[in-house]
């Protein structure tokens, strides 16, 4: 635990030195992420593990769904895999989530470094500029078969490289560059659109809770998040909100509400809690909607307006 905590403190130091606004650390367990960080329009969703193979598929799915809905860039930071220490300058991925070690993260955030080599469980790969590869081939009057024979792969593989639907191995990328005497490898900017080659895990079918079902009835899109201080992300009119159903004792609820409020401020988005017996307009800055009040809303936009009037920082 101390090793992970020291790693997380190092990540926080890198973020602060790189000019990021950082949310409160999500110390509530279990959680599929640790914190959010923002620098102008860039929002990062970070998970820190000493061993990146400790990331479970369900956690990865939750991370990807949150990143998609919040227009955030997910990053897993670690020091090793089951087999070896993570190498500096190399991009790893686990269940579609990009992963780097602290040194690589520092280079990315401070210096704009972009990794070229991608390590997966199947070996080392690189991204290639498929359009450039196709243009180089056509300029030389070559067929797919000519290139395939030149680098020792199938015609289908070359076609997939050009279409961007497959990545060549590191060795095959080197062969392509030697074959054309041109650069075709493309560095990866994980702070922009991350193309993992793996589909985002599907959202669980059904919400399993009457409150969530009521939110869907009035027009919200609901994405259930299993391991987080909130229960779901709800979307209406491009406005995403952290949503929590109050079930715990008030001390536990206040602790989670404080974290949710910090996440909301960093993400520039709304949040609300639904309670059977609300004891006020908000808990630790997060608006509270009573279940009876929820039943009275006919449209999602009405609830959205009620929440946003209590959260003036949203959109600022």
Q: In the chain, what are the domains? A: 2-115 (3.40.1350.10), 125-186 (1.10.260.40), 210-308 (3.40.1350.10)
The answer to whether residue 76 scores a pLDDT higher than 80 is: yes
Residue 205 above 70 pLDDT?
no
**Exposed / middle / buried, residue 262 (Cβ in 10 Å: 0-12, 13-18, 19+):** buried
**H helices present in 112-190, as ranges:** 130-139, 144-151, 155-163, 170-180
Tally the residues of the chain: 316
Dihedral of CA 264/251/281/245: which sign? positive
Percent of all residues in the chain with a pLDDT value above 70, rounded to a whole number: 93
Place of tokens 């078969």: 145
Structure token digits, residue 204? 């669980």
Q: Give the angle 141-146-151 at the CA atoms, nearest 5°.
A: 125
What's the rounded Cα separation, in Å, for the pair 74 and 98? 7
Sheet harboring 42-48: ordered strands across? 21-22, 35-39, 42-48, 73-77, 97-100, 90-94, 117-120, 123-128, 185-186
Q: Which residue has the tokens 């949710």?
A: 260
How much is the mean pLDDT over the chain?
Answer: 91
Judging by beta carbons within 10 Å of its beta carbon (0-12, 13-18, 19+), is residue 284 exposed, middle or buried? middle
Q: Are 234 and 243 in contact (CB under 8 A)?
A: yes
Rounded Cα–Cα distance for residues 189 and 195 (Å): 10
CA nearest neighbour of 170 among 103, 87, 112, 101: 87
Q: Which of 273, 249, 245 is nearest to 261 (CA)?
A: 273
d(CA 286, CA 284): 6
Decide if pLDDT at 204 tops 70.
Answer: no
Tell me the C-alpha to C-alpha distance, in Å, between residue 310 and each of 122, 196, 245, 284.
Answer: 50, 38, 18, 12
Which of 44-58, 195-209, 238-252 is predicted with the least confidence, judged by mean pLDDT?
A: 195-209
Percent of the residues in the chain that have a pLDDT greater than 90, as a whole number: 82
Q: Are strands 117-120 and 97-100 parallel, antiparallel or unpaired?
A: unpaired
Q: What is the pLDDT of residues 227-243, one digit of tens each?
A: 999 999 999 988 999 99
* CA–CA separation, 99 and 194 (whole Å): 11
Which one, of 123, 164, 124, 170, lies nearest residue 151 by Cα? Answer: 170
Residue 308, pLDDT above cutoff 90: no
pLDDT the model gives residue 312: 67
State how far the Cα of 152 lies from the Cα of 146, in Å rounded to an integer.
10
DSSP state, residue 80: B
pLDDT in tens, 252-280: 899 999 999 999 999 999 999 999 888 78
Cα–Cα distance for residue pair 283/270, rounded to 1 Å: 14
Count of Cβ atoms closer than 10 Å to residue 30 Cβ: 9
Does the pLDDT at position 167 exceed 80?
yes
pLDDT given for residue 234 in this prediction:
97
Quick one: tokens of 45?
């969703």
Crossing angle of helices 155-163/144-151, nearest 10°?
A: 110
């Amino acid at each position: 635990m101390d090793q992970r905590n020291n790693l997380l403190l190092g990540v926080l130091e890198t973020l602060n030195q790189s000019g990021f606004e950082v949310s409160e650390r999500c110390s509530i367990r279990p959680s599929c992420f640790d914190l959010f960080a923002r620098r102008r329009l860039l929002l990062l969703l970070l998970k820190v593990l000493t061993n990146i193979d400790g990331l479970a598929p369900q956690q990865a799915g939750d991370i990807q769904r949150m990143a998609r809905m919040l227009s955030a860039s997910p990053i897993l930071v670690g020091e090793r895999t089951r087999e070896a220490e993570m190498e500096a300058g190399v991009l790893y991925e686990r269940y579609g989530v990009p992963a780097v070690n602290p040194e690589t993260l520092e280079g990315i955030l401070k210096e704009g470094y972009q990794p070229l080599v991608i390590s997966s469980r199947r070996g080392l790969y690189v991204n290639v500029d498929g359009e450039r590869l196709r243009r180089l081939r056509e300029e030389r009057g070559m067929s797919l078969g000519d290139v395939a024979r030149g680098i020792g792969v199938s015609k289908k593989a070359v076609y997939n490289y050009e279409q961007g639907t497959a990545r060549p191995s590191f060795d095959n990328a080197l062969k392509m560059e030697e074959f054309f005497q041109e650069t075709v490898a493309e560095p990866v900017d994980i702070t922009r659109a991350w193309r993992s080659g793996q589909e985002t895990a599907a959202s669980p079918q059904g919400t399993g809770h009457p409150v969530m079902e009521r939110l869907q009835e009035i027009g919200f899109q609901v994405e259930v998040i299993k391991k987080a201080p909130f229960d779901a992300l709800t979307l209406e009119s491009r406005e995403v909100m952290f949503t929590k159903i109050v079930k715990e004792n008030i001390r536990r609820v206040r602790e989670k509400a404080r974290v949710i409020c910090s996440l909301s401020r960093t993400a520039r988005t709304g949040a609300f809690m639904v309670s059977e017996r609300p004891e006020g307009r908000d808990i630790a800055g997060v608006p509270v909607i009573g279940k009876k009040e929820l039943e009275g809303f006919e449209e999602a936009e009405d609830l959205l307006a009620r929440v946003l009037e209590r959260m003036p920082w949203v959109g600022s």
